Amino acid sequence: MSVFHRFANPNRFLKLTNTVLPWVSGLTAISLLAGLYMAFFTSPADYQQGESVRIMYVHVPAAWMAMFVYSSIAFASICALIWRHPLADLAAKASAPIGAGFTFLALATGALWGKPMWGAWWVWDARLTSVLILFFLYLGHMALMNAFEDQERGNRAAAVLAIVGFINVPIIKFSVDWWNTLHQPASVMRMDGPSIDPSMLWPLLVMGVAFKLFYLVVLLIRIKSELIEAKLRKYRRALVDNA
Amino acid sequence: MGQSLFIGEKLTCIRGGRTVFAGLDLSIGKGEVLVLEGPNGSGKSSLIRLLSGLIRPRNGSLFWQGQDATREPEIYQQKIHYIGHRNAIKPVLTVLENLGYWAGCSPKKSQDLSGLEQALDQFNMLSLKDTPANLLSSGQSRRLTLSRLLATDKPLWLLDEPSVGLDVSSVALLETAIRRHREKGGAVILATHTAIDLDSPKRMNLSDFSPLYNTSLLQQESLEESWI
Amino acid sequence: MKAFLNIVTRDLHLSLRQRSDIIMAVLFFILTATLFPFGLGPEPNLLARIAPGIIWVTALLSVLLSLERLFLADYEDGSLEQLVLSRASLESAVLAKVLAHWLTTGLPLMAAAPLIALLFNMDSDAFLILIIAMALGTPSLSLIGAIAATLTLGARRGGVLIPLLVLPLYIPTLIFGVGAIDAAMNSLEAGAVLANAKPQLFFLGAIFLVSLLIAPLAGAAALRQAME
């Protein structure tokens, strides 16, 4: 409990958020611009894939974020269930749509990339399929969270689901890899080779940092608006009760 | 306080973001009856569910025979009977089968059977024992549910509107059951709107603890300091 | 243990009184499977090749159909409250209900699977593996399904939610269940059938064990929440 006591007051949290937010937003803008510049101008076109390789600088960080945000939700859910701190619930709730957005972005860019490479918008590639299932996990999580009259109950049910889903992610990943190698012996293209050239690695890493910062910005804004909404609800209720 | 069977201290219950009651103290000893009173929405059902351990209090503590049971209601849950609004009757099973599964014993064993039949008899349900429960009237269903109190012996009864759907003569059966339970040293906490004739009950009005009726409680909780 | 068996026998007793529920699941399984030849054409080689996939997908959907009722009936009539307060720990209560669910859905589906395999002209050498794979896989379906069934108690549109929550988690069972039978069909000599399918059966068993560990914990946590 003591870990959270520092933020135990929503007003203190809001104040902290307001100080931090401009800085993080600025850093996000800088790293995003730098990353995009490197991706578009300083990195070379691939000798096989041509210019379409540049999709990678959005696709790969988005796929990283898909898993990163899901892990964050699972972590927040564990905190929410053990310490019952509302901030953890809020963080999980605010993260889910962002993570689903990143996952969708990874799927969409994967399809765009796949069209020139494979000649099809969708192939049942092991990675893409795993990301697709992760997307379904996100959808289930969000649907469950919003399925109850009592928001608190929705939060807690979704927390249990997130933890169960998180335990299952490696199992799903493993089984999809198994299934894919069985049915499709050789992948047409590897999305990231182990020996990636530094001229491509750097823009990728910068974009990865930019995406993480972007997540933080949106997360803080969403938690903030949830808090303000809760406060409004509370005041309205007090008005009704006092009347 | 030492002889008290069950004590609640400074209990606070919040449901759906709304404080149902706050700072509620109660205690009950052997042979006592506590009647919970108060208008609709004052939290009688919530309190009974909270005492049974089905829901956890937001604040406050529960003590079972002096032992802190706030975090582990399991230590006393086997020693209470809880009867809620719903009868928990399976329509496809017979009266006797329903009672048997609640009591956790088989009606096929003769020593168990006599206990079950006695319980049914005290609520005037013995003649219906092999009737499928879907044929029962609402009063008969309630009597079947109440006969669970007598099928297994437990020191504390938590009854939420036990007399709903009962006619006058059936209420008298309930009164008898409560009287005998108290004679054996049992305790009863019940919420009711109807008049049930009980010998020297303790009474508690829940609207004293509800911010809806007692506005002094509203100020205790600052709007600024809470999360949701 | 006695409390565990009490829940299992109660649920089995209830299912036997309402036999149509069991029959419906099996009937759905067989009817859905027979739709595929109409959609894909009657070519025997094709049907034999896709038989494992069709058996598993339709079995999965049949289990899905039965999941909503698994806890909902008890939740609605108040039996679940009594279950929470009963002698059985909540984890073992979840396991007991899952066992009863498997006995009344998984087991009948397992018994009906060879019939569909026959209709699809599946290689008879693989029948043994089909049975073993179903025996290892269907309990996982019941266990994982119980998590979704408990989490959606009291939700709006719970019946629509369950498939959304459960289907992604069913994928590993589906992959290895089909994989085991495929491996058996692809083995060249009859004696090597079991050896060929061994890794997949091993993983099915591993998934079962993981589910056996997670489902009671998650289900009990969800039931506690549902009481609030």
Q: How far is A67 from chain C (nearest CA, A)?
A: 15
Any idea of the CA torsion for A44, A50, A52, A58, to the nearest 10 degrees? Answer: -30
Q: How many CB atoms lie within 10 A of CB A52?
A: 15
pLDDT band at A195 (very low <50, low <70, confident <90, very high): low
Any idea of the CA torsion for C88, C90, C91, C95, to the nearest 10 degrees? Answer: 70
CA distance B68 to B71: 8
- Predicted local confidence at residue B1, as pLDDT: 40
pLDDT per position as a tens digit, B194-213 = 878 888 888 888 888 887 77
Phi, psi of B54 (to 5 degrees): -70, -35
Using a CB–CB cutoff of 8 Å, tell me whether B2 touches chain A: no
Q: Sign of torsion, CA C21 C27 C29 C35?
A: negative
Q: Which residues in chain B have their CB less than 8 angstroms from residue C3's CB?
A: 104
Strand B202-205: give its sheet, edge to edge: B80-83, B156-160, B187-191, B33-37, B202-205
pLDDT band at A185 (very low <50, low <70, confident <90, very high): very low
CA distance C21 to C69: 10
Residue with tokens 């946590």: C221
| Interface subset of C 189-218, CB within 8 angstroms of A | 203, 207, 210, 214, 218
Whole-complex ipTM: 0.91
- Predicted local confidence at residue A4, as pLDDT: 47
Pairing of strands B80-83, B59-64: unpaired
Q: How many CB atoms lie within 10 A of CB B216?
A: 7
pLDDT band at A132 (very low <50, low <70, confident <90, very high): very high
Question: For chain C, what are the domain ranges?
Answer: 2-227
Helix, strand or coil for residue C219? helix
Q: Tens-of-pLDDT digits for all 228 residues of chain B?
A: 447 889 998 898 888 777 888 888 999 999 999 999 888 878 899 999 999 999 888 888 999 988 888 888 888 888 899 999 999 999 999 999 999 988 876 666 666 788 889 999 999 999 998 999 999 999 999 999 999 999 888 999 999 999 888 889 999 999 999 999 999 999 999 998 887 888 888 888 888 888 777 766 655 555 445 665
- Probe site for chain C from A160, A163, A174, A177 (most C CB atoms < 10 A): A160
Give the least confident one: A101-115, A218-232, C183-197: C183-197
pLDDT band at A3 (very low <50, low <70, confident <90, very high): very low
Closest Cβ opposite residue B82 in set C18, C81, C87: C81
Higher-confidence position of A163 and A39: A163
| C168 → chain A, closest CA residue | A133
Amino acid sitting at position C225: Q
Contact in structure between B203 and B35 (CB atoms under 8 Å) = yes
Q: Sign of torsion, CA C85 C90 C96 C101?
A: positive
Most trustworthy range by pLDDT among A174-183, B216-225, C35-44: C35-44
Q: How far is B80 from chain A (nearest CA, A)?
A: 26
Span A214-238, average pLDDT? 88
| Interface subset of A 81-120, CB within 8 angstroms of B | 86-87, 90
Q: How far is B91 from chain C (nearest CA, A)?
A: 9
pLDDT band at C143 (very low <50, low <70, confident <90, very high): very high
| C77 → chain B, closest CA residue | B88
CA distance B205 to C11: 41
| C5 → chain B, closest CA residue | B104
The yes-or-no verdict on residue A98 having pLDDT over 90 is yes
C154 sits in the region (left: phi over 0; alpha: psi -120 to 50; else beta) called: left
Contact criterion met (CB < 8 Å) for C156 and A147: yes
- Predicted local confidence at residue B114, as pLDDT: 84
Pairing of strands B4-15, B18-29: antiparallel
The yes-or-no verdict on residue A215 having pLDDT over 90 is yes
Domains and CATH numbers, chain A: 25-187+199-242 (1.20.120)
Could you tell me how many CB contacts below 8 A there are between chain A and chain B?
38
The yes-or-no verdict on residue C111 having pLDDT over 80 is yes
CA distance C10 to C12: 6
pLDDT per position as a tens digit, A20-42 = 999 999 999 999 999 999 988 88
Q: If residue B203 lies in a helix (H) or strand (E), which one and from where to where?
A: strand B202-205
Contact in structure between B96 and B116 (CB atoms under 8 Å) = yes
Query: Which chains reach chain B with 3 or more Cβ–Cβ distances below 8 angstroms?
Result: A, C
Pairing of strands B18-29, B59-64: unpaired
The yes-or-no verdict on residue C40 having pLDDT over 70 is yes
The yes-or-no verdict on residue A194 having pLDDT over 80 is no
Q: How far is B52 from chain A (nearest CA, A)?
A: 20
Contact criterion met (CB < 8 Å) for C165 and A168: no
Amino acid sitting at position A47: Y
Q: Sign of torsion, CA A113 A116 A122 A125?
A: negative
CA distance A240 to A159: 32
Q: Which residues in chain B have their CB less than 8 angstroms from residue C2's CB?
A: 104
What distance lies between CA A192 and its chain's CA centroid?
Answer: 20
Q: If residue B24 lies in a helix (H) or strand (E), which one and from where to where?
A: strand B18-29
| A143 → chain C, closest CA residue | C161
Contact criterion met (CB < 8 Å) for A168 and C169: yes
Angle subtended at Cα C183 by Cα C179 and Cα C184, rounded to the nearest 5 degrees? 120
Give the least confident one: A178-187, B14-23, B78-87, C113-122: A178-187
- Predicted local confidence at residue B213, as pLDDT: 74
Pairing of strands B67-68, B59-64: antiparallel
pLDDT band at A187 (very low <50, low <70, confident <90, very high): very low
Closest Cβ opposite residue B54 in set C79, C86, C227: C227
Report DSSP state, residue A40: I
CA distance B196 to B198: 6
